[in-house]
A and B are shown apart, each in its own frame.
Chain A
């Protein structure tokens, strides 16, 4: 703003300077033009008059003849003839040395003044006068105003004065001569005698008489080099004029051309006034605009400041209101909706517990629970349903937890729990799981809606995740958010090392029993091919979980889970039973049957019930034992080798072949297993896949095959996917192969087709 203002002012200043400068230049130009015009004019008039006066000298020459011989009529006639054709001179008279008139071109009235002057001229030696002429007395009356007498001294051949020639100059001639000169209104041309007497005054209107008298005192400074006199009065009217003075160098007169300053500068002054007015107006416009803009900006600024102030006030009020509300809520000890503790009360109680916790060695944890999709339920089904859901969750939490645990709702769907006095840290996981399980149970008929909601739980443990409630709650909150954003974790420890399990595991675990009952597990089969005949010599049964929500789940996901949770026995039994049932079904269908191998977990080898169950099932479906085989991993033998050996011997005794799966990945050696009733070893897929690239792997495979054959075992290669692998294995003496090269594990209907074909050629 200040910059724009100074810029505008600078521009104004520049405009003013420029205008004043150009006005000054203009004025100088006008004056110079006038001077130059006046100079030309005075030179022209002066030259005209000079030529005229020069002409008088011609008459003077004839006059001397007449003075010598007064009766010379020829000369008289010649003179009158000259006069008759001369437009400038009207009359001619010649006087002798005594002042006696000896010739007159026309009769005239006697003029005493004139005669006086003639007498004077004769007395004075007018040779002193440069041109030899002087002006006669200027006529005083209007009627003679145009008749200017000129007196020329006439000399004889001896250069002595013999008389005086009087020529009367007709001013009308001069007037006509100069009538077309461009003159301005107040321009005046003065013809002035050397003694200061004005001879004639001409203006644009003509020859003037009786005007303001001439004052010559002001022009005495003028000379031939500087003929100009400025801004001085020339007449008695005292009007200031611009004057040019030109003195004749041949005759005793001067020409003065002058013009009123006011007139000379009139149009210039009008233009000047216009320009100044314009610039003044412009200046005012700029200044007023600047002031207006300044005012507007100031007003806007003020309004803006007021707005900002009111905004601040408003925000303060809102914050205050919010605080008040919070305070009111906090004041209450229990939540109006769920009856759980409020934030305030919870903080108070929990803090008290923590004081105790520092004195004992028990474990404490803060759990933050947030209900997934709660907001969506609340928005779509209404607050009423949301409230009911919150109440349900609160009730379930209360039922799940001990009396000593502190349960609170912090508002919305945010529940916070302090678990108190736990003996083991690992108990926290159990509680967390239990909370997730309980809360995740379907809520039936909540205002005629059946809902299921999953919680996200964040856990912070005292004292490792925080020494006070503020830190614990903050960290539990953070952990909760991590839960919320992870795909498959329903509870998260703030300490990341505790986060081992996930929600899928949990849910699968939850549903294992029902899944078996509901027939969600199915068996897929992969054929084993004899390398000498390319006949299908066996099948491996592989369990799949056809989960209604998660789709087809592979064993590497749920088998470890089943082993951990103890469901593996249940599942293993189902596989045995299902396999027998399947073989029986094929048999009944007249399909050529081959032995079916089932995988046995280490846990199944812990009790003797496996062997019994196997025979029980075979019997149940009336199958020979050779149609069932078991496969076990090296790791399953590690825990209790003696028990396993006993159980395996029992199984082997019943005629069921035993295969060692994933051979090469464990720590066992062939020596270690030679005391076990193992009929077949299956070389792990990791060796097979590298057979063509890794020399080591190839050697291992070849030597393993050789050793196994030495021990009387058959060798099966797993994971055969290419013909190159097949060629190598065959060359190495491998007995059977299994893998995608021939067939991936397929369900019942597909394996039937293969069994019917009996042979799978590469």
Chain B
């Protein structure tokens, strides 16, 4: 099994790894830099997309940047908090969760998306409750005691937002309203579950659903939306506060002042451009009292 081989390889690497030397207390200036991202579909593929940006950044700031492959949203959270990851693209909820545990990270960028089938143009997206288009479910109440797919406990649109905002509609926790909750691990797997009839409904990101449709995984007519959340800012790219200012400046510069160099990534992200943001933009997420 290739996965097993991979595990063994990882174990071996643990011992031969070059162990970074501790930095001065003042600011962190790690070399190489570690980057991670939120899992969406295929993490290996995703890593290749980010590679174009990172290669460019490596040249700009003159040090190697390594990618920590995520297994869940927790990878980035724990990685950032344990200072194993220096900057990362996260889910909004994951960011909120990490921020809640330790405020040593801050958001600096997100991206704006164009108009899609389910998604609006701009820096926001929505959590959608979708059902199969030809299913008998026409409103929220018809889904009572049915099985629903969530994405990952730390996914904003795929878990956090529904848990907080959707529960306000029904007046009860998701576990009580639905007959069963299944974490699928990714947005497209959730949507696939609904199509296959494994679950009757799913909470997914409007942006990622669009992306799957663009990739041809689904048809735009496959789903019906029964509920749509308030706007959620797109995935935040964050770094550790402790990183030296100059490094942070260099990173930001690559994100906002690059042209052709990051176009491939933007294209893969189905994004138009990176937009500078701060915590105020993520107030809706950060404010959610029941994050834990």
Instruction: Known A55-B11, A146-B183; judge A210-B3 contact (CB<8 A).
Output: no
Q: Which A123-160 residues have C-beta < 8 A from chain B? A: 141-147
| Selected contact of B22 from candidates A51, A73, A108, A175, CB within 8 Å | A73
Instruction: Known A146-B152, A172-B152; judge A86-B183 contact (CB<8 A).
Output: no
CB distance from B112 to the nearest CB of A (A): 29
| Selected contact of B20 from candidates A81, A91, A107, CB within 8 Å | A81
Determine if B182 and A82 form an interchain contact, defined as CB atoms under 8 angstroms apart: no
A88 within 8 Å of B by Cβ? yes
Contacts of A170 on B, CB cut-off 8 Å?
71-72, 74-75
Determine if B182 and A208 form an interchain contact, defined as CB atoms under 8 angstroms apart: yes
Contacts of B149 on A, CB cut-off 8 Å?
205-206
A87 within 8 Å of B by Cβ? yes
B7 within 8 Å of A by Cβ? yes
A523 within 8 Å of B by Cβ? no
- Enumerate chain A interface residues (CB-CB to B < 8 A): 51, 55, 58, 73-74, 77-78, 80-88, 90-91, 105-109, 141-147, 168, 170-173, 175-177, 179, 185, 203-211
Instruction: Known A106-B82, A209-B183, A211-B180; judge A81-B175 contact (CB<8 A).
Output: no
Determine if B193 and A83 form an interchain contact, defined as CB atoms under 8 angstroms apart: no
Cα of A78 to Cα of B3 in the assembled complex, Å: 24
Determine if B160 and A143 form an interchain contact, defined as CB atoms under 8 angstroms apart: yes
Cα of A707 to Cα of B10 in the assembled complex, Å: 163
Contacts of A171 on B, CB cut-off 8 Å?
72, 183
Q: Which B9-30 residues have C-beta < 8 A from chain A? A: 10-11, 13-14, 17, 19-20, 22
Beta-carbon nearest neighbor of B73 in chain A: A172
Beta-carbon nearest neighbor of B84 in chain A: A84
Beta-carbon nearest neighbor of B192 in chain A: A205
Cα of A84 to Cα of B17 in the assembled complex, Å: 11
Beta-carbon nearest neighbor of A203 in chain B: B182
Determine if A90 and B74 form an interchain contact, defined as CB atoms under 8 angstroms apart: yes
CB distance from A75 to the nearest CB of B (A): 11
Instruction: Known A84-B82, A90-B75; judge A143-B181 contact (CB<8 A).
Output: no
| Selected contact of A176 from candidates B17, B82, B185, CB within 8 Å | B185
B174 within 8 Å of A by Cβ? yes
B189 within 8 Å of A by Cβ? yes
Beta-carbon nearest neighbor of A210 in chain B: B175
CB distance from A199 to the nearest CB of B (A): 14
Determine if B14 and A203 form an interchain contact, defined as CB atoms under 8 angstroms apart: no
Determine if A209 and B175 form an interchain contact, defined as CB atoms under 8 angstroms apart: yes
B159 within 8 Å of A by Cβ? yes
CB distance from A201 to the nearest CB of B (A): 9
- Enumerate chain B interface residues (CB-CB to A < 8 A): 3-4, 7, 10-11, 13-14, 17, 19-20, 22, 34, 39, 68-75, 77-85, 97, 100-102, 104, 147, 149-150, 152-154, 159-160, 163, 174-175, 178-185, 189-190, 193, 196-199, 291-292
Determine if B292 and A175 form an interchain contact, defined as CB atoms under 8 angstroms apart: no
Beta-carbon nearest neighbor of B103 in chain A: A107
Q: List 8 A-B contacts (CB under 8 A).
A: A78-B19, A84-B34, A87-B70, A106-B81, A142-B163, A204-B193, A205-B149, A207-B183
Instruction: Known A77-B22, A80-B83, A211-B180; judge A179-B292 contact (CB<8 A).
Output: no
Cα of A176 to Cα of B292 in the assembled complex, Å: 24
Beta-carbon nearest neighbor of A143 in chain B: B153
* Among A73, A74, A85, A177: residue with most chain B CB under 10 A: A85
Cα of A80 to Cα of B17 in the assembled complex, Å: 12
Beta-carbon nearest neighbor of A106 in chain B: B81
Determine if A146 and B72 form an interchain contact, defined as CB atoms under 8 angstroms apart: yes
Contacts of A58 on B, CB cut-off 8 Å?
11, 14
Determine if A80 and B82 form an interchain contact, defined as CB atoms under 8 angstroms apart: yes
CB distance from B202 to the nearest CB of A (A): 9
| Selected contact of B7 from candidates A51, A74, A176, CB within 8 Å | A51
Determine if B71 and A176 form an interchain contact, defined as CB atoms under 8 angstroms apart: yes
CB distance from A69 to the nearest CB of B (A): 16
Contacts of A55 on B, CB cut-off 8 Å?
7, 11
**Given A74-B19, A170-B75, 17 more contacts at CB 8 Å?**
A83-B78, A85-B10, A90-B72, A90-B78, A105-B81, A106-B80, A109-B101, A141-B292, A142-B174, A146-B74, A170-B74, A176-B71, A203-B198, A204-B198, A206-B183, A206-B189, A211-B180
Determine if A209 and B180 form an interchain contact, defined as CB atoms under 8 angstroms apart: yes
Cα of A106 to Cα of B99 in the assembled complex, Å: 12
Contacts of A88 on B, CB cut-off 8 Å?
71
Contacts of B3 on A, CB cut-off 8 Å?
177
Determine if A206 and B182 form an interchain contact, defined as CB atoms under 8 angstroms apart: yes
Beta-carbon nearest neighbor of B160 in chain A: A143
CB distance from B189 to the nearest CB of A (A): 7
Beta-carbon nearest neighbor of B290 in chain A: A143
Contacts of B160 on A, CB cut-off 8 Å?
143
Instruction: Report the 7 A-B pairs with minimum CB-CB distance, sorted nearest first.
Output: A172-B72, A84-B84, A106-B81, A206-B184, A205-B198, A107-B102, A105-B82
Contacts of A205 on B, CB cut-off 8 Å?
147, 149, 182, 184, 189, 193, 198-199
Contacts of A177 on B, CB cut-off 8 Å?
3
Cα of A542 to Cα of B39 in the assembled complex, Å: 150
Cα of A80 to Cα of B22 in the assembled complex, Å: 12
Cα of A185 to Cα of B200 in the assembled complex, Å: 13
Contacts of A80 on B, CB cut-off 8 Å?
82-84
Instruction: Known A81-B20, A88-B71, A143-B154; judge A106-B78 contact (CB<8 A).
Output: yes
CB distance from A60 to the nearest CB of B (A): 14
Instruction: Known A85-B13, A172-B72; judge A206-B193 contact (CB<8 A).
Output: yes
Contacts of B4 on A, CB cut-off 8 Å?
51
Contacts of B197 on A, CB cut-off 8 Å?
185
Determine if A143 and B163 form an interchain contact, defined as CB atoms under 8 angstroms apart: yes
